[in-house]
Structures are given as structure tokens and as C-alpha cells.
Structure 1
Amino acid sequence: MDDSQRVGCDELEGVAVTFEEFAETRTPGLLRYAIVLTCDRHLAEDIVQEVLVRVFRKWKRISALDLPETYVRRMITNEFLSWRRRKASTDVPFSPEAIAELGLAAGDSASRYDERDMLLRDIATLPRKQRAVLVLRYFCDLPDEQIAESLDCGVTTVRSHASRALATLRITPTPSQV
């Protein structure tokens, strides 16, 4: 596919595209977002698939929005939060595939791999809203105002969740400290 056929981020904004074009260009990024959010590739695939089915049904309305991808990302976040409420499980699913999916470079050392593994495991233990805030802030590079809109809460709540999550991650002992 050459550049003239590719539909990128900038091209989608304000231009009518079909659902198929949207899904083809956006699914990989939405899936990466869901994997980081859920820490489980299989659950992420299920959530993205479920959301894309709903998006397909409402595509005419969603495609008319200024930023359909932002809306779909919010749907993924809401589906994740709903799933966490439904499951009420203390088990934190985490798979090695999730780490690999985040794009570890072939030249990474074992210690760097271990650090990422520990960080992702620690993030997986955070409460769902705190985890969502960190993923939206640091993985999606969204400003606090957009995160607040996505999570349907105030900007100060977003900052509070981020602060608490980062504090929790700071005090989590590493294996060498145990």
C-alpha cells in the first residue's frame, strides 16, 4: 500500500471514511491501547472486537464526529471498566505476549526486559481508573482535560488518580529490595 492509499491519523480527521477503512487503519493502534490497559492480549482482543461491532452498528453517527478515534478509544476504556466491574476478580491476568506486543526491541537486555515486566505487573495491580489514567496519559499522550472527558470525571480527579498511581508504583518493592 503506498502513501496515497494509506489513511493516517490526519487524513481521518474531518474526512468521510468507511468503517472498513477506519477499522483497517485504526485496529492495530486500538489493540495496542487495549493491551496496555488490560495487560492481557486475549481480553484486549475481545474488548476491541466487541467495541468494533458496536461501532459498526453506529458508524454513521460516529463517523460524523470530529475525532471518531477518540470516541472509539473512550468506548474501549468504558468496556474495560465495565468488564472489571463485572468480573470483580482479584486475579490479575498478565501474559508474556502482552510484553512482546508492546514492542520490545530485539537488542533489549534481559534486565531491561525484567524491568518492563515488573512495571507492567505493577501497573496491572492498580485500580482500574488509576491504570486507565496512566495509560491515557503516558501511552496515548493525552492531556489531563481529554483524559477527564474520556473517563467522565474532573481534571482534578484525573490528577489525583495519576498522583496516587505513581505513588503506588514508587513504593512497590523491586525483587532486589525484597
Structure 2
Amino acid sequence: MDRNDSFREFVAGHQQALMRTAYLLTGDAHQAEDLLQSVLLKVLRRWSKLSRVEHPEAYVRKALLNQHISWRRRRARIELPTADPPDRPYSSEDPTIVRLVMRRALMRLPPRQRAVIVLRYYEDQTERETAELLNCSIGTVKSQAHYALARLRELAPELAPKLADMEAEEAYR
């Protein structure tokens, strides 16, 4: 089996999880595809070394985070279009509505806070794993999660019960 075959196997086995991470970071399917493709091209160049690493997926996930933050820094600040508030009330129990509201609120967080929320609550990483991926201390992960959850409560008060559930789950980890 040559280098490209093992890389193809890796991508086939991890593409869906990596794409989900990229989507949660960017909030846009097309940008997520671009982000993942960009990172996978870089990984392919180093695959001969990375294929011997114990957890190459962790390396790729960290590369996704770094590339996303790098892209955000380079891109000029632009306003994010938002839809007008709905004319009719909606059920905060509707999972589709909750996901849409959460996604919109996540996109308004700074990249580092968004990365902490994605890794901790969507990817179910521990504080230590998140700190390693973000190359920061566990205390930084805790404080960024705290500030991010507080900001999410401000941006989408209707999510407060869901955010409280997330924090309660965190307490039992």
C-alpha cells in the first residue's frame, strides 16, 4: 500500500467528522468544504510522517482550527447579514429552530471562543484535549467557555435553557 492509499483510507474514515468540525467553525457548507480541502492538501504533503503518528485525526483537527483562525484574521471584517426577527413566535423546543438560532449565535462569537464551544460541546473533547488542540492552558479553555456561554446568552436569550443543560452536562464530566 502506497502513501496515497493510506491517505485515502484516512480521509474516507474521517471525512464526515472533519467536515462537521469545519462546518461548525465556519457556519457555511461551502467555506467548510474549502477549509477542509485546504487542510487536507497540506496534510497530504506531510502524510508520510503523519501516518506514523498515533492520532492523525487530532493533528488534522488542530490544522482545521489554525487554518480557520488564520483565514478569519486575514479576511476584512464584514457585517453578517441577519434575517428579520420572525413575525410569529416559534417553539424553543423545535430542534431545527434551536439549531438555527444556535448557529447564528455561534457565528457571532470570536473565533477562539467558537472553537472552544465547538470542541467542548459538539466534538465532546475534554478540557485537556481542547487545551492541547488550541495550544493554551486548561484555565484558558475554562474561561473562554465561560465567556462564550455568557455571550451566547446575550445573543440568543431564548437558548438559555439549552445552554444551562450544556453547563449541567459539563459539571458531570
Structure 2 length normalisation: TM-score? 0.78
Deviation of 1:133 after TM superposition, in Å, equals 0.2
Q: Structure 2: state its 5+ residue gaps.
A: 83-91, 159-173
In structure 1, how many angstroms separate the alpha carbons of the residues matched to 2:122 and 2:81?
20
Retained in 1: the 8 A contact 2:105–2:156?
no
Deviation of 1:27 after TM superposition, in Å, equals 1.1
In structure 2, how many angstroms separate the alpha carbons of the residues matched to 1:90 and 1:166?
23
In structure 1, how many angstroms separate the alpha carbons of the residues matched to 2:67 and 2:73?
10
Deviation of 1:110 after TM superposition, in Å, equals 8.9
- 1:170 paired residue among 153, 161, 166: 153
- Provide the residue aligned with 2:85 in structure 1: none
Percent identity over paired residues:
41
Retained in 2: the 8 A contact 1:39–1:93?
no
- The SS at the match of 1:18 is helix
- 1:147 paired residue among 112, 117, 130: 130
- Provide the residue aligned with 1:29 in structure 2: 17
Paired residues, number? 145
- Provide the residue aligned with 2:120 in structure 1: 137
Kindly report structure 1 stretches of 4+ aligned residues shifted beyond 4 Å.
Answer: none
Note the alpha carbon deviations across 1:46-104, whole angstroms, 9 max, x for none.
0100111111110011111110001100000100000000103233479xxxxxxxxxx
In structure 1, how many angstroms separate the alpha carbons of the residues matched to 2:15 and 2:24?
14
In structure 2, how many angstroms separate the alpha carbons of the residues matched to 1:173 and 1:70?
31
RMSD, aligned α-carbons: 2.0
In structure 1, how many angstroms separate the alpha carbons of the residues matched to 2:78 and 2:143?
23
- Provide the residue aligned with 2:64 in structure 1: 76
Structure 1 length normalisation: TM-score? 0.76
In structure 1, how many angstroms separate the alpha carbons of the residues matched to 2:16 and 2:128?
25
Q: Structure 1: state its 5+ residue gaps.
A: 1-16, 95-108
